[in-house]
Amino acid sequence: MQIRAARRAARLSQIQLGERIGRDDKTISRWENAHTAPDLTDLLRIADALGVPLADLVK
C-alpha cells in the first residue's frame, strides 16, 4: 500500500494528513506523485497517523 492508498483508506484528505504529521498538503502531494520522497522520520509519522505498518507504505 502506498501513501495515497493508505491515506484514502483512512478517509483523510492531504490537508488532514499534513496537519497530523506537521507537513503541508503540497508536500503530501509531492510524495504521493513521486516528485520527492519522505524521509524515514516522515514515513514513521505517516504510518502512525494512518495506523498502518511502515512496510505497507514502502512496498
**Residue for cell digits 483523510?**
12
Reported as half-sphere exposure (CB side, CA atoms, 13 A), residue 58 has a value of 12
Q: Where are the domains of the chain?
A: 3-53
* Long-range Cβ contact pairs of 11-17 (< 8 A, separation 24 or more): 12/50, 17/46, 17/49, 17/50
pLDDT band for position 1 (cuts 50, 70, 90): low
pLDDT at 28 exceeding the cut of 70: yes
Average pLDDT, the chain: 95
Q: Give the pLDDT confidence score for residue 50 in this predicted structure.
A: 97
Q: Give the pLDDT confidence score for residue 58 in this predicted structure.
A: 84
pLDDT at 35 exceeding the cut of 90: yes
Cell numbers placing 14: 492531504
Q: Give the pLDDT confidence score for residue 20 in this predicted structure.
A: 97
CATH architecture for segment(s) 3-53: Orthogonal Bundle (1.10)
pTM recorded for the entire structure = 0.91
> Could you tell me the CA-to-CA distances from 49 to 18, 29, 32 in Å, in that order?
10, 16, 16
